[in-house]
Amino acid sequence: MSSNLPPGCSHRDIEIAAGANAHCEVCWKHVDACVCPECPDCQEVGNPKCYRGFKRLRLSAAQVLARQEARIGALQERLTDEGLMLDWMAAHPDRLDDDTKHKGPLSVWLDNNPEPSDMA
């Protein structure tokens, strides 16, 4: 799992910045694969406002499944990123953070290093 990217930067971050992963704000599928129906009131597709407030639309089974797939995908990406961070840390033990003011996974101080159970 090696990468030339700096810690905290993933390939997904670069893709998002380039606009490659435009997703529907409701179903979270790529905009070209959106499963949202057209709103009967405004005729828009994938507008979160149509699902909130008075006369709101309900999510379809396809939308609920798509949102769960997106959550799982985000967790898988997070796991990949954490694995890349581990590889980087193992390759650069001299770059661990000795500053008592910084908090994060690179900290050598137990009070500043997040509990693994808090990461879930």
Instruction: Give tens-digit pLDDT for 74-87.
Output: 999 999 998 998 89
Residues of the chain with confidence (pLDDT) below 70: 1-3, 10-13, 15-21, 120
The pLDDT value given to residue 1: 47
Which tokens belong to 46? 């994938």
What's this model's pTM, rounded to 2 decimal places? Answer: 0.68
The pLDDT value given to residue 38: 94
Cα–Cα distance measured from residue 53 to residue 73, given in angstroms and rounded to the nearest whole number: 29
Cα–Cα distance measured from residue 30 to residue 15, given in angstroms and rounded to the nearest whole number: 13
Could you give phi then psi for residue 107, rounded to 5 degrees?
-70, 140
Q: Which residue has the tokens 């997904």?
A: 12
Which tokens belong to 1? 């799992």
